[in-house]
Amino acid sequence: MNATRTINLKNRPTGKPELKDFDFTTSEIPELKEGEVLLKSEYVSVDPYLRGRMSDAPSYIAPFEVGKAIESGIIAEVIESKDDNFSKGDHVSGALLWKETQVANAKGLMKVDPDKAPLSAYLGILGMTGLTAYLGLTEIGKPKEGETLLVSGAAGAVGSVVGQIGKILGLKVVGIAGTDEKVDLLKSKFSFDEGINYNTTENMREAIAKACPDGVDVYFDNVGGEISEAVLFNINKFSRTINCGAISQYNNTELPKSISVQPFLVKKSSSMQGFVVFDYADKHPAGVKQLTDWLNEGKLTYTETIREGFDNIPQAFLDLFEGKNKGKMVVKL
């Protein structure tokens, strides 16, 4: 095993990414040096935020380089180690390259325990997804018991965890999703109090008012766009919006326009704040511990969509933008 396949960014997409924006190459695996480990990828995370890294617009994280490997959260097995903290057979989590096999610096890798949770969970509910839900909701949303939490993209990887944590914290929780099946899941599986199908609802503004009769105190926004416009008419005084994503707008080539938020924020002394889990690295360990506890206490459940095969990673990524995933999407190699 001294060659590996790699998935590279071939072109920067304009608008929606396509398969042709990726290419596969084969290259030599370099010699292992001190402080490094040789890793075999086991589970690869595909995430909407990677779309941002495919563009070269300034963002919270450096863009991918054209012609170079894509990077995301990956669970891998240690095949060989020249670092004291890792041994052959360990499983690790880290920001790694889309390669079947790779040499990585041991720093920045975190050991994960397959006895505490399935390995794929460390990319989802016990990984960036769960931390995004937990830290976004608590650090920015600052929810108080009895308040109303509204979640968009509620059946998604982050949204479904946000709702459950909301319930654990004693909130009324309403979710917005795009199919009746997803809305059913919100209530039957993820303990949401109410669900709204935005694809079959004519007047979202009224539907939100009906589902949230006391108004919206915390809005966990995964989507932006028209749904978030409808929310504005329903926010309470001192409401907090966590802007966690804007998947509805990631593939726009022109800057999307929405109803101006300023007059609403002024009228309601309300806040909107962008949230990126990477900014809260110091709170990750405590967050993972809390999430693991809740998971083992049976208070949290999660859905994942597992695709198979290295070749299918790009398609799995593209399917995120068609809403073809339920919960966290990972690819098993």
14 part of the interface to a second copy, by CB under 8 A: no
Smallest CA-to-CA distance from 112 within 163, 157, 77 is with 77
Smallest distance, a second copy to C-beta of residue 236, A: 10
Q: How far is CA 95 from the centre of its chain?
A: 14
Looking at beta carbons only, is 1 or 266 nearer to a second copy? 266
Return the range that interacts with a second copy (CB under 8 A); candidates 162-170, 197-205, 270-278, 306-314.
270-278
157 part of the interface to a second copy, by CB under 8 A: no
Contact by Cβ (8 Å): 96, 102: yes
Smallest distance, a second copy to C-beta of residue 257, A: 4
Return the range that interacts with a second copy (CB under 8 A); candidates 15-23, 79-87, 203-211, 264-272.
264-272
Give the residue carrying structure tokens 């020249």: 82
Residues 6+ positions from 297 with CB-CB distance below 8 Å: none
Smallest distance, a second copy to C-beta of residue 271, A: 4
Return the range that interacts with a second copy (CB under 8 A); candidates 13-21, 188-196, 267-275, 289-297.
267-275
321 part of the interface to a second copy, by CB under 8 A: no
Q: Which of residues 39-98 bind a second copy (CB under 8 A)?
A: 52, 57-60
Residue from 228, 290, 292, 325 binding a second copy (CB under 8 A): 228
Looking at beta carbons only, is 211 or 223 nearer to a second copy? 223
17 part of the interface to a second copy, by CB under 8 A: no
**CA pair distance 192, 153, nearest whole angstrom:** 13
Smallest distance, a second copy to C-beta of residue 204, A: 15
Looking at beta carbons only, is 79 or 209 nearer to a second copy? 209
Q: Which of residues 235-254 bind a second copy (CB under 8 A)?
A: 237-238, 243-246, 249-250
281 part of the interface to a second copy, by CB under 8 A: no
26 part of the interface to a second copy, by CB under 8 A: no
**Long-range contacts (CB closer than 8 Å, 24 or more residues apart) made by 284-289:** 284/131, 287/130, 287/131, 287/134, 287/135, 288/126, 288/130, 288/131
The amino acid present at 34, given as its one-letter code, is E
**CA pair distance 310, 316, nearest whole angstrom:** 10
Give the residue carrying structure tokens 């084969």: 26
Question: In this structure, what DSSP letter does residue 99 have?
Answer: B
Residue by residue, DSSP assigns 279-311 as GGGGGHHHHHHHHHHHHHTT-----EEEEE-GG
List residues near a second copy by CB under 8 A. 52, 57-60, 221, 224-225, 228, 237-238, 243-246, 249-250, 255-276, 279
